[in-house]
C-alpha cells in the first residue's frame, strides 16, 4: 500500500468539519414518521383492521370466502374418495380375459361340481 496516498486522505478528512446533530433530532424524526401516511397492505388488515368504515362488508367478504373454500375442499374430497368406476371395470374385463384364455378354464368352470362331489364323497362320511 502506498502510504502517501492515505496520508493525503487522512489530512483531508482531518480538515473536514464534524457533523453536528440537533438536540431535537430524534423528536423530529419521530414526528415525520407519524405524519407520513401509513399504507395498510394485505387482505388480513382489510378484513380485520379498523378504518372507521362499516364492518358488514368485511364480514360478508370473509363469510363468502369461507363458503367458497368449504365448497371447493368438499368437492376435492368427494372426488378423491370416489372410486374410479371406469378403471375398475377395465380391470375386471382384463381379469376375465386372462381367465378365459387360461388352460385351467375348464377346471375353473366345473369347480362347483367338483366341490359338490367332494362334499358327498363316500370317503368323507363317518
Task: Tell me the per-residue pLDDT of 82-117, one tens digit each, with 9 for 90 and over.
Answer: 666 677 778 888 888 888 888 777 777 777 777 777
d(CA 76, CA 18): 68
What's the Rg (C-alpha) of the chain? Answer: 43
List the domain boundaries for the chain: 23-82, 85-126
Q: What is the DSSP string of 73-105?
A: HHHHHHHHHS--HHHHHHHHHHHHHHHHTSTTH
The pLDDT value given to residue 53: 54
Measure the CA–CA gap between 57 and 81, rounded to whole angstroms.
Answer: 36
pLDDT tens digit sequence for 45-85: 665 665 555 667 777 888 889 999 999 999 888 877 766 66
Tell me if 71 sits within 8 A of 77, measured CB to CB. Answer: no
Amino acid at each position: 500500500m502506498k502510504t502517501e496516498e492515505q496520508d493525503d486522505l487522512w489530512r483531508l478528512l482531518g480538515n473536514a468539519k464534524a457533523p453536528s446533530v440537533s438536540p431535537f433530532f430524534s423528536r423530529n424524526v419521530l414526528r415525520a414518521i407519524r405524519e407520513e401516511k401509513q399504507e395498510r397492505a394485505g387482505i388480513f388488515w382489510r378484513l380485520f383492521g379498523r378504518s372507521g368504515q362499516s364492518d358488514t362488508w368485511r364480514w360478508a367478504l370473509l363469510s363468502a370466502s369461507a363458503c367458497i373454500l368449504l365448497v371447493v375442499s368438499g368437492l376435492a374430497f368427494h372426488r378423491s374418495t370416489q372410486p374410479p368406476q371406469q378403471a375398475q371395470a377395465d380391470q375386471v374385463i382384463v381379469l376375465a380375459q386372462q381367465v378365459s384364455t387360461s388352460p385351467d378354464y375348464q377346471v375353473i368352470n366345473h369347480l362347483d361340481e367338483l366341490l359338490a362331489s367332494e362334499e358327498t364323497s363316500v370317503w368323507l362320511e363317518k
